């Protein structure tokens, strides 16, 4: 349909995602004279790290989140906000992007080069009661307190791993909340001293962690390592949590405590949003450290599809600084492919800074690794797939009946076929299956996301608005 294609918006470089990685990629590309089209799911650019607080809710919201955001008003940058990219398909020497946004948003976009910077979401770790209202992700809690200026409860339990939990705890305390306990699934990071060299110079981050730690001690919060929330209970909402060691078997076999809270915040780190890169056909490999499939990339962060780059947390969790330098590196490579002249010393400088930031990110992954999906805690009636309400018991049953791959489990149970397209249950289902079969996750095959990778009304799939 060349004549139809000819009507599509055609661009040199499309960047999907306006968080740190996408914004930095846009700035770098623009520096080299490449006009940029930036597509973002949210009403305002910034992603999760540079998320703006609405001016009406916070008098200080003119505050500078990032100089990268100021660049977006440049003439050579076009931002398409509030818009989902639901599919990517190779088309000629570039890619066809399928968009769905507010009235007037282009539905199709042809890009010669594409940089995917889709970011990440809180890594879901199921346990009995995790669907009760009052159980929210750490990311949700942080967004509510910081950007909506709402304290989402009175008495909080934080369960998960890593320093971000401390940051959240401090925000909750500052907002007048009561933090009953902070549980970290990992043991105390004694090995931290080994990483002194990589952490050297990261004063701002180390200082933030230390300050958070001190305010928690002052607030008399219970701090426990190697512990998690094992169960949430309540009539229609969270009323109490049963907490205890990560492993060791049933509640009867280990020492558990009951603790009255109204809100449980889950902060088990982040899971990369790989759906779009997977749907596009980029090869992915399982990373046992991050417990996630990550896109295979060359040294310029190009995926296995030529001219399609994947950067930032969506390609492997590294945080906002790794994300920005990855965005810049990919933009340099994309610009070179678009026949702009790129200075070799700029590439070298970006690579150096990226390597430095990756060393620090690696420390966090070493000290606070992604925990398993807590198989010991899952009861047969625990809902694993929140969308389709598929329980652990149903998955165990189809495994007993002979299912040996993720695709087989998905076909029979519909787990992962709901609105979230497996973003919530994909990891937990694969780890449960691996556990039941006694096999590594890598042996179970992958489920290929099909377009649309996000829910879009039927009318929204059309090339033109109806």
Partner 1 sequence: MTSSRLPRPAGSPTLTVSVDSEIAEAHPGETVATVLLALGRQTFRHTDHLHAPRGLFCGMGVCFDCLVTIDGQPNVRACMTPVHAGMTIETGGPSDA
Closest contact distance (angstroms) between CB of 356 and partner 1 is: 29
For residues 451 and 455, which CB has a smaller minimum distance to partner 1 in the complex?
A: 455
Return d(Cα 386, Cα 159) in angstroms, integer: 19
Closest contact distance (angstroms) between CB of 381 and partner 1 is: 10
CB 12 within 8 A of CB 111: yes
DSSP lists the bridge partners of residue 181 as 157, 222
For residues 27 and 179, which CB has a smaller minimum distance to partner 1 in the complex?
A: 179
Closest contact distance (angstroms) between CB of 156 and partner 1 is: 9
Q: Give contact residues for partner 1 (rule: CB under 8 A).
A: 41-43, 48, 53-59, 121-122, 124, 131-137, 139-141, 143-145, 148-154, 175-176, 236-238, 262-263, 273, 383, 386-389, 418-420, 423-424, 455
For residues 121 and 291, which CB has a smaller minimum distance to partner 1 in the complex?
A: 121
Nearest to 47 by CA among 67, 22, 29, 25: 22
Closest contact distance (angstroms) between CB of 413 and partner 1 is: 12
CB neighbourhood size of 345 (10 A): 7
DSSP lists the bridge partners of residue 10 as 110
Question: Residue 345: how many CA atoms within 13 Å on its side-chain side?
Answer: 0
For residues 135 and 294, which CB has a smaller minimum distance to partner 1 in the complex?
A: 135
For residues 45 and 139, which CB has a smaller minimum distance to partner 1 in the complex?
A: 139
Length of the chain as a residue count: 466
Return d(Cα 164, Cα 412) in angstroms, integer: 37
For residues 245 and 416, which CB has a smaller minimum distance to partner 1 in the complex?
A: 416
Closest contact distance (angstroms) between CB of 425 and partner 1 is: 10
Return d(Cα 382, Cα 137) in angstroms, integer: 18
For residues 215 and 304, which CB has a smaller minimum distance to partner 1 in the complex?
A: 215
CA angle 370, 372, 376 (to 5 degrees): 150
CB 323 within 8 A of CB 310: no
Q: How far apart are the first and last CA of the chain?
A: 19
For residues 386 and 410, which CB has a smaller minimum distance to partner 1 in the complex?
A: 386
Closest contact distance (angstroms) between CB of 392 and partner 1 is: 14
Query: What torsion do the CA atoms of 271, 275, 281, 282 make, to the nearest 10 degrees?
Result: -20
* Tokens linked to 232: 């949430």
Closest contact distance (angstroms) between CB of 136 and partner 1 is: 6
For residues 21 and 338, which CB has a smaller minimum distance to partner 1 in the complex?
A: 21
Instruction: State how far Cα 207 lies from the chain centre.
Output: 25
Return d(Cα 197, Cα 135) in angstroms, integer: 38
Closest contact distance (angstroms) between CB of 56 and partner 1 is: 4
* Cβ within 8 Å of residue 15, ≥6 positions away: 22, 25, 26, 29, 36, 37, 38, 39, 114, 115, 117
Closest contact distance (angstroms) between CB of 143 and partner 1 is: 5
CA angle 413, 130, 261 (to 5 degrees): 170
For residues 124 and 163, which CB has a smaller minimum distance to partner 1 in the complex?
A: 124
Nearest to 138 by CA among 368, 453, 366, 447: 368
* Tokens linked to 416: 């992962």
Closest contact distance (angstroms) between CB of 237 and partner 1 is: 6
């Amino acid at each position: 349909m060349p004549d139809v294609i000819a009507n599509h918006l055609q661009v040199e470089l499309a960047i999907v995602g306006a968080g740190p990685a996408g914004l930095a990629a846009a700035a770098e590309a623009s520096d080299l004279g490449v006009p940029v089209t930036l597509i973002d799911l949210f009403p305002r650019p910034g992603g999760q790290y540079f998320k703006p607080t609405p001016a009406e809710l916070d008098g200080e919201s003119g505050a500078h989140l990032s100089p990268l955001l100021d660049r977006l008003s440049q003439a050579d940058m076009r931002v398409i906000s509030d818009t989902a990219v639901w599919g990517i398909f190779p088309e000629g020497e570039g890619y066809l992007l399928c968009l769905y946004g507010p009235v007037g948003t282009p539905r199709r976009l042809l890009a010669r080069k594409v940089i995917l910077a889709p970011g990440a979401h809180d890594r879901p770790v199921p346990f009995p009661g995790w669907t009760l209202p009052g159980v929210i992700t750490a990311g949700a809690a942080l967004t509510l307190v910081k950007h909506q200026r709402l304290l989402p409860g009175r008495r909080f339990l934080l369960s998960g791993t890593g320093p971000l939990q401390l940051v959240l705890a401090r925000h909750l305390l500052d907002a007048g909340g009561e933090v009953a306990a902070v549980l970290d699934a990992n043991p105390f990071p004694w090995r931290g001293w080994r990483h002194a060299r990589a952490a050297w110079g990261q004063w701002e981050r180390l200082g933030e962690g230390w300050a958070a730690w001190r305010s928690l001690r002052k607030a008399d919060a219970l701090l426990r390592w190697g512990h998690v929330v094992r169960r949430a209970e309540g009539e229609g909402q969270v009323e109490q949590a049963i907490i205890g060691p990560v492993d060791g078997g049933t509640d009867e076999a280990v020492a558990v405590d009951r603790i009255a809270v109204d809100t449980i915040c889950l902060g088990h780190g982040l899971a990369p949003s790989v759906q779009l890169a997977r749907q596009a056909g980029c090869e992915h490999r399982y990373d046992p450290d991050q417990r996630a499939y990550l896109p295979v990339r060359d040294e310029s962060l190009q995926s296995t599809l030529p001219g399609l780059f994947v950067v930032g947390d969506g390609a492997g969790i590294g945080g906002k600084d790794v994300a920005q330098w990855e965005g810049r590196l990919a933009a340099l490579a994309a610009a070179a492919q678009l026949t702009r002249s790129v200075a070799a010393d700029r590439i070298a400088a970006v690579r150096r800074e990226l390597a430095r930031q990756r060393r620090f990110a690696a420390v966090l992954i070493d000290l606070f690794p992604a925990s398993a999906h807590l198989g010991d805690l899952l009861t047969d009636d625990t809902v694993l797939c929140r969308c389709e309400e598929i329980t652990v018991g149903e998955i165990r049953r189809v495994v007993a009946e002979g299912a040996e791959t993720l695709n087989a489990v998905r076909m029979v149970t519909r787990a992962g076929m709901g609105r979230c397209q497996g973003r919530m249950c994909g990891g937990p289902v694969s780890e449960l299956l691996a556990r039941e079969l006694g096999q590594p996750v890598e042996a179970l095959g992958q489920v290929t996301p099909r377009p649309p990778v996000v829910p879009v009304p039927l009318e929204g799939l059309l090339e033109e608005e109806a």
